[in-house]
Structure 1
Amino acid sequence: MTTIYDIAKLVGCAPSTVSKYITKHGYVSQALGEKIAAAMRDLDYHYNGIARILSTNSSNRIGVMVPFLDHPYFQSLVNAITMAATTDQEVTILPTAYSPVKERRCLDELEHRLIDSLIITSHTLSYQEITPYGKKHPIVFCETIPDPTARSVHIDRQAALTELFQTLRHRHLNRIGCLFIRPAKESVTTTETLAAYQQVFGHPLSPDLVRYHCRSFADSQRLTTELLATTPNLQVILTESDISAAGARQVAGPKVVVIGQGNQLLSQLLGFPSIDQHLDTIG
């Protein structure tokens, strides 16, 4: 079996230099690194990944906890994160489907150093249950967090939504329906949207004008049909993605103002307004 001593002998350097190159801990010049890499190929050397993790106390793995990948918001955010990762970082996608059991498993992986840090794009576990894990290991939330000591990267969604509702009110568009993925008690997005509406209009949005579990084009078609049946004078439909907005637009037609989120090509092609969430920057 080939060892780092064989590599070092072939290259003409110290075994510790080969170790530095493999673990990325310590300086190795580019020229020497290329010689070590060539020697590893020539001798068919493969380092023991588990031993490397144990020796460096680091896996260089970033976990990304994401509920699902069939939604444009999470697709774009995960893509931006993976593009921003450096060459020596491995991004591990951890889908949860908002399952508390799966989310705890992600936290356990962080606790046991199977990943070095965790980016939480969305979650169903309470913030209080998650934060103790962040005392020893880096956790970053992709949402507004009331705790100023927490790591968080996000847009000021409520300010954007407040401005949106102010514009709609100024244009006398006040019969507004909303299509959400999750209820307010489970979702920061829903909570901030309803809070922005109440701030602008001075009263809560009627439950009759709200529908949940809207993730897909088909979901939005079905839920828009329900909204129009109960509120035939509906003026606006606000959704959480451009995919949902496209489904709502197809059912509601041009008489209802449909607003998406994500500012994707789809909204430009179909000509409906969309909130830019700046996911490339967040990622």
Structure 2
Amino acid sequence: MSTIYDVAKEAGCAPSSVSKFITKHGYVSNKLGNKITAAMAKLDYHYNGLARNLSTKTNNRIGVIVPFLDHPYFQGLVNAIILEASKISKEVVILPTAYNANREQQYLQELEHNMVSSLIITSHSLPYTKIYPYQRFGKIVFCENSNHQQTRCVFNNRKEIFEKLFTTLKQKEITNFGFMFIRNPQDSKTTKETFEAFKKIFNHYPQPERIIYNCRTAEDGKNGYLKLKRTIPNLQIVLSESDISAAGAYQARGNSDTLIIGQGNQLVSKLLRFTSIDQHLDETGILALKLATEATSTMKEKVNFDIIWR
């Protein structure tokens, strides 16, 4: 396997000149650059960019920790981050976890070893106390309010907007709820804040029999709705964590007048015309990338959710 020294010998220059040409750090004349290019082609030389990152402590890669990509929320958020990163010539590395704590730990170690320059954490299972220490190795941005003064995060008004939603429904005497979520409130801030908002308006948490967990897909939504319908007499409303699972519930309800509410304000909710919570994922992704890449004193950015009534 050819080395940088072989290329330098073939091109008739110093190894440092080859290094400057490859890394674009320092001046190399066009004439010498052409010689180095020819030497690299002749020797089939390919430099190890990862090794260079490790030796210079710099790289251009942003890691995005995401549980899965078959959910509209994470699809939209990751897509927004990628589009914004392309504008500033940053490489985005998707790091899927399926909420596996060991895998999350491995990705944090990639930050420690400079495999990525910063991390955007869209959702996680590791406790904050396990993540915070890694901030000394690079910027970590949470897509939720971490409640830690020295942590970067993009947070939202989820609890406030759900209090508004539940208040409006209560005023309309729509109070017989069913819920479909991915994770339980012990593991998910989304679920926890939704149920806290519900308790504030109705003075109690939803009963367990009114909640379906592990609900991600349209098929999950369909099956979840049917189970709720069997369990809850005169079911008035089903609140789902995404428009996709809400669309499954919408399909399953048939001619029933059960109100379906999703989250994401995706095309499917617009076409089927059911109410949805707009999470403004484009704005969230842009702000998360800004906190991960720019030299700014700002530590927290707020994004406001909106209720799109249909």
TM-score when normalising by structure 2? 0.79
The share of aligned pairs that are identical, in percent, is 49
Aligned to 1:78: 78
Q: Distance in 2 between matches of 1:96 and 1:24?
A: 35
Aligned to 2:266: 264
1:233 aligned to 2:234? Answer: yes
Q: Is the contact made by 2:11 and 2:39 (CA closer than 8 Å) also made in structure 1?
A: no
Aligned to 1:183: 184
Aligned residue for 1:85, secondary structure, equals helix
Q: Is the contact made by 1:2 and 1:43 (CA closer than 8 Å) also made in structure 2?
A: no
Shift of 1:55: 4.1
Aligned to 2:195: 194
Aligned to 2:54: 54
Describe the shift of the 1:66–1:25 C-alpha distance in structure 2 as closer, same or farther (beyond 3 A). farther
Runs of 5+ in structure 1 lacking a partner?
none
Shift of 1:244: 0.5
Q: What pairs up with 1:64-75 in 2 under 5 angstroms? A: 64-75=64-75
Deviations 1:173-223 (A, max 9, x none): 111111010000000000000011111122222222111110111111111
Q: Is the contact made by 1:61 and 1:90 (CA closer than 8 Å) also made in structure 2?
A: yes
Question: For residue 251 of structure 1, what is the amino acid of its counterpart?
Answer: A
Describe the shift of the 1:144–1:37 C-alpha distance in structure 2 as closer, same or farther (beyond 3 A). farther
TM-score when normalising by structure 1? 0.86
Q: Is the contact made by 2:10 and 2:39 (CA closer than 8 Å) also made in structure 1?
A: no
* Matched pairs, number: 276
Shift of 1:134: 1.5
Aligned to 1:210: 211
1:117 aligned to 2:148? Answer: no
Q: Distance in 2 between matches of 1:237 and 1:90?
A: 40
Aligned to 1:105: 106
Shift of 1:6: 8.8
Q: Is the contact made by 1:119 and 1:141 (CA closer than 8 Å) also made in structure 2?
A: yes
Q: Is the contact made by 1:177 and 1:227 (CA closer than 8 Å) also made in structure 2?
A: yes
Q: Distance in 2 between matches of 1:165 and 1:7?
A: 74
Q: Is the contact made by 1:40 and 1:46 (CA closer than 8 Å) also made in structure 2?
A: no
Shift of 1:88: 3.6
Runs of 5+ in structure 2 lacking a partner?
286-310
Shift of 1:136: 2.9
Q: Which structure is richer in relative contact order (CA contacts within 8 A, separation 6 or more)? A: 2
Q: Distance in 1 between matches of 2:176 and 2:34?
A: 65
Shift of 1:261: 0.5
Shift of 1:108: 1.4
